[in-house]
């Protein structure tokens, strides 16, 4: 019975952590959006879209041949919240 209670408490804590993370993400996402986009969606004319497409096509991106600075082996998941290590019952259901 004690094990079941601990399991339920862990799941509830994980759900609280996940909810807090989502709330923080939503708050940050809302702050990062430009004011004019928050008010209403902007409709662009075809000419403006063509100009943007031309400008974007001129952008050159160079890709480094170096390997990434980290791999799965270099990430210590023991310090991450439990929500990163396990799925909630809702996630498992999906």
For residue range 37-75, what is the model confidence (pLDDT) as tens digits? 555 556 778 888 899 999 999 998 887 777 666 666 777
Instruction: Output 89 or 73, whichever has higher pLDDT.
Output: 89
What are the distances in angstroms from CA 44 to CA 16, 49, 50, 57, 59? 41, 7, 10, 18, 21
Region 15-32 average pLDDT: 82
Q: What six digits make up the tokens of 10? A: 């862990």
Q: How many residues does the chain have?
A: 94
The model's pTM is: 0.30
**From residue 4, how far is each of 1, 10, 11, 14, 46 by CA, in Å?**
5, 10, 11, 15, 61
Decide if pLDDT at 26 tops 70. yes
């Amino acid at each position: 019975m004690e094990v079941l209670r601990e399991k339920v408490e862990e799941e509830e804590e994980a759900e609280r952590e996940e909810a807090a993370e989502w709330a923080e993400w939503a708050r940050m996402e809302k702050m990062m959006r430009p004011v004019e986009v928050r008010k209403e969606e902007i409709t662009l004319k075809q000419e403006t879209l063509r100009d943007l497409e031309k400008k974007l096509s001129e952008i050159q991106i160079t890709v480094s041949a170096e390997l990434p600075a980290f791999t799965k082996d270099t990430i210590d998941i023991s310090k991450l919240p439990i929500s990163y290590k396990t799925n909630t019952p809702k996630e498992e259901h999906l």
